[in-house]
Structure 1
Amino acid sequence: MTELFTLPLVLGDGRPTTLEAWRGQVLLVVNTASQCGFTPQYEGLQALQRDFGPRGFSVLAFPCNQFRGQEPGSDAEIAAFCTSRFAVSFPVFAKVEVNGPGAHPLFQALKAAQPGLLGTRAIKWNFSKFLIARDGRVVARFAPTTRPEALRGAIEPLL
């Protein structure tokens, strides 16, 4: 499996990084969108960050415009939206693709480690979620309809 911590990433402000900055934490990677019916999940994601962050947990948001163009803004506009509307304190990365030939290597690795229903690898919609243990193992995949508060029971034992 791909070493997740070494994959190149870009933060929403354009700075390059890798998941190495979060090594040793429990991570929830989410593909997000600002104009989606699931966008209010940012509130629940922020609650998870607030409650579990001090114990070594972080939400990592990856905006994606592949689903009906529901994330059309620039990286700066997306970050401003997340901060002003939902007061997010977790990282919001630069926009990525999660499916197809242009899918970011992180999402290729996540989908390979945790296929979806009936083994499908494609991400079906915005706010699909991947839970990663402290050692980098991808331990669970959750559907867009799974509300963040429903993940507490999966996150808690990993902390």
Structure 2
Amino acid sequence: MTTIYDFTLPALEGGDINLADYRGRPVLIVNTASKCGFTPQYEGLQALWYQFRSMGLVVIGVPSNDFGAQEPGTSAEIASFCHRNYGVSFPMAARSPVKGPQTIPLFRWLDKECGFLARPRWNFYKYLTNRTGQPVAWFSSVTAPTSDRVTKAVERVILNP
């Protein structure tokens, strides 16, 4: 059975993010963009990461230029923007396609596992996996990372080893 831990992402600042390193931990994957109306959600993602990382949660941003060309920058520009404006300290992947024929394997798998309705239709779709690496919830762009829906889902996967 495939799990989130079977994937590797290119890291924003070089090297790779090997998701196997997070085996046994819940993971929240988010497709992000720097020039989007939802970009302030970086602040909420950072708050969620800060609140729950000591309990095992991993937040990973995956910048994408697929929606409205709202992530046009280089890796260095994206990293600088995220750190400077939102204090992002959670892992960030390099800019990657999350829809269409060039979709990265992780998002192909999320599409297969979560279904058509969960397919990202804009920036800041969120995908939560449990400690066994299986998707348990997804949230659209309009659902803030610090909303009750997201925080309660995170609490459920943290409390259910």
TM range (shorter): over 0.9
How has the CA–CA distance of structure 1 residues 120 and 157 changed in structure 2, closer, same or farther, with 3 Å as cutoff? closer
Where in structure 1 are there 5+ consecutive unaligned residues?
none
2:142 to 130, 141, 145: 145
Q: How much has 1:121 moved relative to structure 2?
A: 5.5
Q: Per-residue deviation at 1:72?
A: 0.3
Report 1:1-80 matches (<5 A): 2-80=2-80
Residues 7/80 of structure 1: CA separation in 2 closer, same or farther (3 Å cut): same
The answer on whether the counterparts of 2:41 and 2:144 sit within 8 Å (CA) in structure 1 is yes
Asked whether the 8 Å contact 1:112–1:121 carries over to 2, the reply is no
Task: Measure the CA separation in 1 of the matches of 2:58 and 2:3.
Answer: 18
> Which residue matches 2:96?
96
2:153 equivalent in structure 1: 154
Cross-structure match for 1:133 = 130
- Of 15-24 and 36-45, more deviation after overlay is shown by 15-24
**Which amino acid is the alignment partner of residue 138 of structure 1?**
P
For 1:130, the aligned partner's letter is Y
Number of aligned residues: 156
Q: CA deviation at 1:42?
A: 0.5
SS in 1 for 2:146: helix
In structure 2, what is the Cα distance between the partners aligned to 1:98 and 1:47?
A: 24
The equivalent position to 2:120 in structure 1, one of 100, 106, 123, is: 123
Which consecutive segments of 4 or more residues in structure 1 shift more than 2 A?
Answer: 1-4, 119-122
Aligned to 1:108: 108
Output the CA distance in 1 between the equivalents of 2:131 and 2:23.
7
**Percent same amino acid at aligned positions?**
44
Q: In structure 2, list runs of 5 or more residues that go unmatched.
A: none
Deviation string, structure 1 residues 111-148 (Cα, Å, up to 9, x no partner)? 11112xxx446310000000011110101111010001
Residue aligned with 1:145, SS: coil
Q: Which amino acid aligns with 2:80?
A: A
Cα pair distance change 1:69/1:52, threshold 3 Å: same
Q: Which amino acid aligns with 1:125?
A: W
Q: CA RMSD in A?
A: 1.2
Instruction: Tell me by how many angstroms 1:22 deviates.
Output: 1.4
